[in-house]
Structure 1
Amino acid sequence: MSRIITVGAAQMGAIQRADNRPAVVKRMVELMREAASHRCDLIVYPELTLTTFFPRWWMENQDDVDAFFEREMPSNETAPLFNEAAKLGIGFSFGYAELTPEGRHFNTALLVDKTGRQVGKYRKIHLPGHAEHEPWRAFQHLEKRYFEVGDRSWGVWNALGGNMGMMICNDRRWPESYRMMGLQSVEMILLGYNTPRHNPPAPDHDRLSEFHNQLVMQAGAYQNGTWVVGVAKCGVEEGCEMIGASSIVAPTGEIIGQALTQGDELIVARCDLDLTRSYKASIFNFEMHRQPEHYGRIVQQRGAVPPEGRSEG
C-alpha cells in the first residue's frame, strides 16, 4: 500500500536587509496558500527564511547581530504563519536564527505538524565559512562567528505519516548528515539552503555550484533510501548572487521536481514514502551489508591513520 505525502518546496527569492519580517511572512503565507490549493500535506521553506543572509556582513555590535535572531517561536511576527497552517491543515518546515533564553545562538530548522504544533527542531552542525574578518572578500561568510555548532545531532520524527528528518545547507555536503538519519530509518529529509554562487577561497568551483548542489542531494537520497526536499533562498540579495535549483529528489536518486526561476516559486510532488522500502530492504540494508566494526582496522592497515594509542609525533 502506498503512503503518499504531497510536498511543496517553497523556494524564496532574495530578501533584502530592508525587508521586515511581516513582509517576509506575508510571502510565506502566500506560498502556503498556493500549496494548500494543490492539497499539499507539507510545505518546506529555506534556511534563514525570515531575514537576509546576515553572515555576509562583519558586525562588532552584538545588538546588531541579535536583531536577526528570534527569541521565541512563534513570535508576534511569525504567528500568522502558524495560524494559517493550522487553518489550512498543512504542515511546514522553515529555517531561522534562534537565540535561546540562555543566550545561545543557533542556525535552526523547525518542523510543525498540520495542527500548528512544533514536533521537531534541528540546529545546524556543519557551519561553513570563517570566524574572523577577511576584508579581501567581496562579502563575508561568518557563520562560525555568529552561530554555535548545533547541539542536537540529527533527529528523525514520526510526523505527517512518515519518518521526517532535517538538515541545513552545508550539512548536505557531508555524508554523515544523511547517514545519521538513514540509520534511524528516515523517509524524507527536509533541507533548506542559502548558497552563494561565488566561493571566494575557491572561485574555480563557481561554475559547478548547481551541479555540486544536485550531486550531494541525489547521492544522499539514493545511498540512504530516502526522499530529499532541498529548498533555496536565491537570487541577488544585497549584491550577492545565491543559487536556486530547489529540488525534490526521490530515493532512486532521481530529481522529480525542480525550480526554474530565481524567485518565489512552489514545486509540488506526490511522494510515495513506501518507495523507500525497496532500497532500505535490499542494496542499502544497513544491518545486512554495512560493516562499521571493520572500518577502523581497514584504515589502519592501509596506513591512513596511526593505530590507536600510537603518537604521530
Structure 2
Amino acid sequence: MTKRRFRAAAVQTLARLGDYDHNIALATRYVDEAVRQGAELIVFPECMDTGYLFDSPDHARELAQTVVDGPFVKALSALAARHGVYIASGVTEWDPEKKKIFNSGVMFDRKGALACHYHKQFLATHDQNWFSFGERGCPVVDTDLGRIGLLICFDGRIPEIFRAMALQGAEIIVDMANFFAMDQADMWGPARAYENGVWLVAATKAGYERSIYYPGGSMIVDPKGRVAAKVPYDVHGLAVADVDPEMAADKTIYAADDKIAGRRPETYGALALPYEQTPVCGLADQPLIPSRSVTKVAAVQMHMTADAPNADAVFEMVDDTAKLGVKVLALPEYAFSPTWLPNAEEARAQAAATPAILTRLSATASLYGCLIAAPVIEREDDRLFVSTVLIGPDGARIGVYRKTHLTAEEKTWASAGDSYPVFDTPFGHIGVMSGFDAVFPETSRCLGVGAADIVLWPAALREPFERELLAVPRAEDNRVALVLANRVDSPYPGGSVVIPPNGFPMWDINVAAPRSFKLGAVMPRHVDLAVCRQKMMIPKVDMFANRLTETYAPLIAA
C-alpha cells in the first residue's frame, strides 16, 4: 500500500474525575476542532474517561467501564464514525472475564470499530494501587494511515516496549499519557522516536488533579527525533502536524548505517530472560559498606590528533588524572589513533602498538591504584577487534569488551564482539559500550540486566542527538552512572560527561552539563554504588523487575 501524508492531532486537556458527561463533552469539542483543522488521527491522554487519581481500588472499580459498552468509548466510537477519522484515548477498563481493572488504550477506526486495544505494561506506583499489569503485549495494527502501535505514559521509559513495536513494523506510535515531569516529554519522547526511527504522537494532560500536577508536553515527533508540533506547558489545546509514514522507512544513521538493520539480536538473549534469572535480580538487597561504596570516576577528553600524533600527551593526561585520586578513568574511542575513524591500514598500525600502550597504562594503574579503560585495537590471529581493555589497580588486565555494533567503515577491517560482559572490580560492576553501540538501547539494557553499576562509553560522536537525547536515558533507564568520553575531532565534538544514575535535575543535558571542546578536559564525578544498585525509579517501579519479558520476543528474533 502506498503511504500518504496525513494530519495528526495530540490533545492536551484535563479530565474531570468521575464525570463521564463532562469528559465526553470535552472530547467531542476537541474532536470537532481537530477535524476542522484536517486531522485524521486524534489522540487523547491517559484515563481520559474517568480521571486518574482514584480514592481506592473500589473507587476505580466503580468508575471503570468495559471497552465494549462504556459511555466514553461508545462516544469516541460514534465520533470516529461520524467524522471518518481515527481516535485513540486512554481509558479505565473493567474486564469482566478477568475480573481486573486495566489502564488501557483504545483506538477506533473510521467506521467506529475498535482497531487496537492495549494494556499499560509498566505501571507507576499509584497505578499499582488499582490497576493490573497489562496482558495484551505490544500490539501493532495496519491502518490506511500506516502501521500504528499504542502505549501509555510510563511505557515509554522502558526501551523494550517501544522497540518491540518498531520491530513489528510500527510507523507511528501513539502515546496516551499523564506526564508528571517535563523530561518525560521533552527527552524520552524524542529519544524513543529517534532511536527507533518512528513517528510519535503523544497526548498528555495539563493542570491539577487533586495532588497531581500535570505540566503538559503533548507533542508530535518525527522519526529523526525532531519535534514537529507541541502544545506549550500549562495550556490546553492541540498539537497538530502533518505525518509522513514513509519517513519511518528510513532508519539510516551516519553515512551508511541503520538503526534497525544494525542490531545484533543474537546477542540480546538476556533481555527476554525472566527477572529471577538475571544478575540484576536482588542486587539492591546485597549489603554495601558506605565508606567503600563511593568511587571517583572521570571522562578524560584526551586522545591523539592529526596535529599531535604522539601518544605521550595521552599518557601524561591519564597520569595527571590518576594522581588526583580518580579511580575509574575512561578515554574516548580510538584514543591512541590520530584520526577519529581509522581505516584498515591505520587500524593495523594501531593494533601493532597496542601491547606497548597497555604496558604503559598498566604501570600507571598500578602506581595510583586505579582502573583505566583503554580503548584500543587488538589483533587475535588474523582478526582485528575494536576493544576496550580494563586494567585494574594492580596493573593486571581485568577483562576486555569487544565492540558488538560496528559501523559500515569498521566492518571493512574489524570483527564484532558477541557479548556484553559486566566486570566485578574493586570500584563496582563495570560495563562498556563503544561508540555506535550506544545507538542501540539493547546494549545498555543488556549491561543493566547484567547488574552494571557504571557504564563506560568511549565515543567519537557523529550526531547531536547521540548526546542530547540518548546519553541521559541510557543512564536513567538502567540506573547506572554513565561515563561518556568523546573526542574533540569527531563530527560532533566534545561534551564528555559523567551522568549519575538518576540523571540531572534539569533534563536538558546542554544546560545541566554544557559541552567542553577542550582537548585534555577532565570531567570527574563521585559515584555512589548504593544509588546505582537501587534500580527503582520511584517506589515499586523497578526498571528491571517490572518488565514483562514475555512480550519481548521481537527483540531477540533474527
1:6 aligns with 2:2: no
Cα offset for 1:104? 1.3
- Mapped to 1, the partners of 2:264 and 2:195 lie a distance apart of 15
Per the alignment, residue 103 of structure 2 pairs with 107
Identity score, percent: 25
1:246 aligns with 2:242: no
TM-score by length of 1: 0.81
Kindly indicate whether residue 419 of structure 2 is the aligned counterpart of residue 298 of structure 1.
yes
Corresponding residue number in structure 1 for 2:313: none
Helix, strand or coil: the match of 1:31?
A: helix
CA distance, structure 1, for counterparts of residue 183 and residue 423 of structure 2:
32
Q: Distance in 2 between matches of 1:289 and 1:261?
A: 37
C-alpha contact (below 8 Å) 1:113/1:160 kept by paired residues = no
Aligned length: 275
Q: CA deviation at 1:16?
A: 3.6
Contact map agreement 2:152 2:175 (CA 8 A) in 1: yes
User: Is the 1:47–1:109 Cα contact (8 Å) retained in structure 2?
Assistant: yes
The 8 Å contact of residues 16 and 23 in structure 2, kept in 1 or not, is answered as no
Of 249, 252, 270, 2:242 maps to 270
| Equivalent residue for 2:114, pick from 114, 118, 122 | 118
Paired amino acid for 2:155: D
The aligned amino acid for 1:221 is A
1:179 aligns with 2:163: yes
2: CA distance, partners of 1:212 / 1:233: 13
**What's the CA shift string for 1:4-35, capped at 9, x where partnerless?**
1210111113x343x61011111101100111
CA shift, 1:2, in A, is 5.9
User: 1:224 touches 1:284 (CA, 8 Å); kept in 2?
Assistant: no
> Alpha-carbon deviation of 1:239?
4.1
**1:219 partner SS:** helix
Judge conservation of contact 2:92–2:104 (CA < 8 Å) in 1.
yes
Describe the shift of the 1:65–1:2 C-alpha distance in structure 2 as closer, same or farther (beyond 3 A). closer
Letter paired with 2:117: K
1:95-174 to structure 2, matched below 5 A, reads 95-102=90-97, 103-129=99-125, 142-174=126-158
Structure 1 pair 256–99 and aligned structure 2 pair: CA distance change class (3 A): same
| 2:258 corresponds to which of 262, 274, 284 | 284
TM-superposed CA distance for 1:174, in Å, is 1.2
Give the counterpart letter for 1:190 in structure 2: V
Please give the alpha-carbon distance, in whole angstroms, between the structure 2 residues aligned to 1:166 and 1:298.
Answer: 32
The CA distance in 2 between the partners of 1:284 and 1:252, in whole Å, is 12
* Structural mapping, 1:208-223, within 5 Å: 209-223=181-195
1:106 Cα shift?
0.7
- Mapped partners of 1:301, 1:268: distance in 2: 45
Tell which has more relative contact order, 1 or 2 (C-alpha 8 A, sep 6+): 1
Q: In 1, are the aligned partners of 2:206 and 2:233 still within 8 Å (CA)? A: no
The alpha carbon displacement at 1:73 in A equals 2.8
For residue 65 of structure 1, report the CA deviation from its aligned partner. 2.6
Indicate conservation of the 8 Å contact 2:115/2:141, yes or no. Answer: yes
**1:89 matched to which residue of 2?**
84
- Normalising by the residue count of structure 2, what TM-score does the alignment of the two structures yield? 0.47
String of CA shifts for 1:132-173, please: whole Å, max 9, x gaps.
Answer: xxxxxxxxxx21121111011111100132000011010011
Spell out the pairing of 1:226-237 with structure 2 (5 A cutoff): 226-237=198-209
Deviation at 1:74, TM superposition (A): 3.9
Q: Secondary structure at the match of 2:35?
A: helix
Larger Rg: 2
1:80 and 2:52 are equivalent in the alignment: no
| 1:283–1:28 CA distance, 2 compared to 1 (3 A) | farther
Code of the residue aligned with 1:106 in structure 2: it is: F
Alpha-carbon separation, structure 2, partners of 1:244 and 1:37: 23
Q: Sort the Cα spacing of 1:72 and 1:249 in 2 relative to 1 into closer, same or farther, 3 A.
A: closer
SS of the residue corresponding to residue 63 of structure 2 reads: coil
Unpaired runs of at least 5, structure 2:
271-417, 430-449, 452-558
Judged with a 3 Å threshold, the aligned counterparts in structure 2 of structure 1 residues 280 and 68 are, in CA distance, closer, same or farther, namely: farther
Two-structure CA RMSD over aligned residues (Å): 2.2
Pairwise mapping of residues 5-24 of structure 1 onto structure 2 (< 5 A)?
5-13=6-14, 15-17=15-17, 20-24=19-23
Give the SS at the match of 1:67. helix
Contact 2:9 2:238 survives alignment (8 Å): yes
Structure 1 unaligned segments of length 5 or more: list them: 130-141, 197-208, 307-313
Q: CA deviation at 1:246?
A: 0.5
Take 2:69 and 2:234, find their aligned partners in 1: how far apart are those partners?
28
**Structure 2 CA distance for aligned equivalents of residues 106 and 195 of structure 1:** 18
> How many Å apart are 1:251 and its aligned residue?
0.2
**SS of the residue aligned with 1:270?**
strand
